[in-house]
């Protein structure tokens, strides 16, 4: 059978590769971004209750109304933004599906999409499979800050979209108010859309405030913003997220959503609606994960792996240049097979494989796991 691949350069993701290698060698898996501790018992009990009550058939395409109403309340509480739950919120099968759907709805053949790299690995193939042209803007270690004037020079008459991610995976940096204002000015008076990946909105540390696009009316009018319940509530396997967008953009988003997913897990949506009624379920997460971040950093004291900075997410970057000159993918694999801790090489988040000799470690783990990982890494 003859056919032309739409993604000829795409293979198995590094996350699958490193997790498999960790399993094969019995290594501590700090590579893939998922917690190794349970989700809330109350939330799980709510899911079971709704299953037993018979909430097991298709949900409405946009998501159950009570959940969308809770999300509208949450947005008002956090960002002082008024969102219409009927026309501006759609529940999705995870944030990655929301990202793909947003790109599929608006990116056509030849459209350019500016990516801020290192970038989450689903962005580029989602653009390419829809005929778009990824245009990378490179961030560099150790600060990974955006020069908006330089990024602006990448804008052409073909620029359809700019993708941002804050807090940022994999670097752990966050965009500041001046960053969002610069982006607002850059896109003002254009037809450029902004796709804002905000899945780690509640994992932001040291008293900083999450700078959502929802805070900036000039951005919001051209934005689609994506979020993840899995990242927020320690249940990444549930694959539930949502997208927020102005009604004129959400109308197009839903045209694609209804035919690639249609609707999302019904009892979990009702359970999440009940759970969100208590704002402490998400407002306490920054303290919870900051304690884990600080515990992990303390466990790494004495290691030759040098920490960079983690302002948000549950990932920490470490510079290994004091240990080895080898490429980061080779070093990460050797960490797994020889030293018993799996990491993600940061070069995989760049389209050109750029390496600053930096690896990413996930600290969304129990303190016991983090202590054992630190003890192994201090021996390198």
The C-alpha angle 313, 225, 139, rounded to 5 degrees, equals 50
The bridge status of strand 193-197 relative to strand 112-117 is unpaired
pLDDT at 11: 82
Contact (CB, 8 A) for 225 and 198: yes
pLDDT tens profile 250-264? 999 999 999 999 999
**What is the CATH number assigned to the segment(s) 14-32+284-377?**
3.90.1150.10
Determine the Cα–Cα distance for residues 373 and 358; give it in Å rounded to an integer: 17
pLDDT at 230: 95
Structure tokens at 53: 């009550």
Domain boundaries, the chain: 14-32+284-377, 55-277
pLDDT tens profile 111-169? 999 999 999 999 999 999 999 999 999 999 999 999 999 999 999 999 999 999 999 99
Q: Is the pTM of this model over 0.75?
A: yes
Contact (CB, 8 A) for 93 and 260: no
Nearest to 276 by CA among 97, 89, 61: 89
pLDDT tens profile 260-305? 999 999 999 999 999 999 999 999 999 999 999 999 999 999 999 9
pLDDT reading at 371 higher than 90? yes
Correct CATH for 55-277 of 3.30.56.10, 3.20.20.70, 3.40.640.10, 3.40.50.300: 3.40.640.10
pLDDT tens profile 64-104? 999 999 999 999 999 999 999 999 999 999 999 999 999 99
pLDDT at 355: 87
For residues 107-132, one letter each, b for 16 or more C-beta atoms within 10 angstroms of the residue's C-beta and e for the rest, the string is beeebbbbbbbbbbbbbbbbbbbbeb
Q: Given this chain, do its domains 14-32+284-377 and 55-277 carry the same CATH topology?
A: no
* Average pLDDT of the segment spanning 12-25: 91
* Average pLDDT of the segment spanning 210-214: 98
CA 246 vs CA 9, 19, 218: distances in Å: 35, 38, 12
pLDDT tens profile 309-331? 999 999 999 999 999 999 999 99
pLDDT at 12: 82
């Amino acid at each position: 059978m003859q056919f032309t691949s739409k993604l000829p350069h795409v293979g198995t993701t590094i996350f699958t590769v490193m997790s498999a290698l960790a399993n094969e060698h019995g290594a501590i898996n700090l590579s893939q971004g998922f917690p190794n501790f349970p989700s809330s018992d109350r939330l799980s009990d709510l899911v079971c209750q709704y299953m037993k009550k018979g909430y097991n058939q298709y949900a409405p395409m946009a998501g159950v109304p009570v959940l969308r109403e809770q999300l509208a309340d949450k947005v008002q509480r956090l960002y002082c933004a008024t969102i219409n739950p009927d026309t501006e919120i759609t529940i999705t099968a995870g944030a990655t599906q929301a990202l793909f759907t947003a790109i599929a709805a608006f990116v056509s053949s030849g459209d350019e999409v500016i990516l801020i790299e290192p970038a989450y690995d689903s962005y580029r193939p989602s653009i390419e499979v829809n005929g778009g042209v990824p245009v990378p803007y490179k961030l560099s270690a150790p600060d990974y800050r955006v020069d908006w004037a330089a990024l602006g020079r990448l804008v052409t008459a073909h620029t359809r979209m700019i993708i941002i991610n804050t807090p940022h995976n994999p670097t752990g940096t966050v965009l500041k108010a001046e960053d969002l204002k610069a982006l607002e000015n850059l896109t003002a008076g254009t037809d450029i859309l902004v796709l804002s990946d905000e899945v780690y909105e509640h994992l932001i540390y040291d008293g900083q405030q999450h700078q959502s696009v929802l805070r900036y009316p000039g951005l919001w009018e051209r934005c689609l913003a994506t979020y993840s319940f899995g990242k927020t509530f320690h249940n990444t396997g549930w694959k539930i997220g949502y997208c927020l967008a102005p009604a004129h953009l959400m109308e197009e988003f839903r045209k694609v959503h209804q035919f690639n997913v249609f609707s999302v897990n019904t009892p979990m949506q009702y359970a999440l609606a009940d759970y969100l009624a208590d704002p402490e379920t998400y407002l306490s997460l920054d303290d919870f994960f900051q304690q884990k971040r600080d515990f992990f950093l303390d466990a790494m004291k004495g290691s030759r792996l040098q920490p960079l900075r983690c302002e948000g997410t549950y990932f920490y970057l470490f510079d290994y240049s004091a240990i080895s000159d080898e490429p980061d993918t080779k070093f990460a694999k050797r960490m797994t097979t020889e030293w018993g801790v799996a990491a993600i090489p940061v070069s995989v988040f760049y389209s050109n494989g750029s390496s600053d000799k930096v690896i990413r470690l996930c600290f969304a783990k129990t303190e016991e796991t983090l202590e054992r990982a630190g003890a192994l890494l201090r021996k390198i």
